[in-house]
Homo-oligomer: A and B are copies of this chain.
Amino acid sequence: MVGRAIAAKLAELGHTVTMGTRDPQATAARREGDAYGNPSFAAWQAAQPQIQLGTFAQAAADGELLFNCTAGGGSVAALQSAAPEDLAGKTLVDVANPLDFSHGMPPSLSVCNTDSLAETIQRTFPALKVVKALNTMNANVMVNPALLAGEHSVFVSGNDAAAKAQVTALLRSFGWRAIIDLGDLSTARGSEMVLPLWLSLMGALGTPLFNFAIAR
């Protein structure tokens, strides 16, 4: 859902997009939608013919800027399948959350408090410039903040000021106005740790179409 939403928005904005997956043939051959009512990749791609499908390695090779939209538990493995030279110096927007469903619902986090998924990725791939962003809202809100009324916020964390500026400009092109720079990448602990509250709120409000705003 997240990858499709971001890929479609990037394509709409005129960017060239390659989506990566473990087994592109299997993904392309699938004809069933998923349990959430999303169509098969093939059915979705029919309306997005300009978006390429490839391996994670091909997506990393093609992209000038990378988005990590994998499940948190698979993020490091997905990036390990890329050639190191295809990661070197590139900005990675880390949209993933380290949700752990192994103990049932609601999920807990597989890493938190004194570490984060974003920091784990940055430590494992020091040549990447990791910027945490967009991980605190539903995919439809990520690429269309005007879906919700009023001003609401997207949080940005990262160690590289130029990479954060690049991501901030991209977020503006998505329609974001209230972009809050939380600080260095350790502040991604905070935005990842908001997920349990987000999940409770989805239950309490009966919809995933909401977002955090900051009242002053």
Contact = CB atoms under 8 A, between A and B. Distances in A.
Contacts of A151: 215
Given A197-B194, A204-B180, A215 B150 contact: yes
Interface band, chain A: 35 or more
Interface string A189-203: 111011011111101
A147 B172 CA distance: 30
Contacts of A198: 190
A184 to B, nearest CB: 10
A168 to B, nearest CB: 13
Interface in A140-189: 148-152, 155, 157, 180-183, 187, 189
Each complex incorporates copies of this chain amounting to: 2
A108 interface: yes
A207 B199 CA distance: 27
A149 B197 contact: no
Interface in A108-148: 108-109, 112-114, 148
Interface string A80-105: 00000000000000000000000100
A199 B190 contact: yes
Given A212-B214, A215-B148, A197 B113 contact: no
A189 B213 CA distance: 20
A205 interface: yes
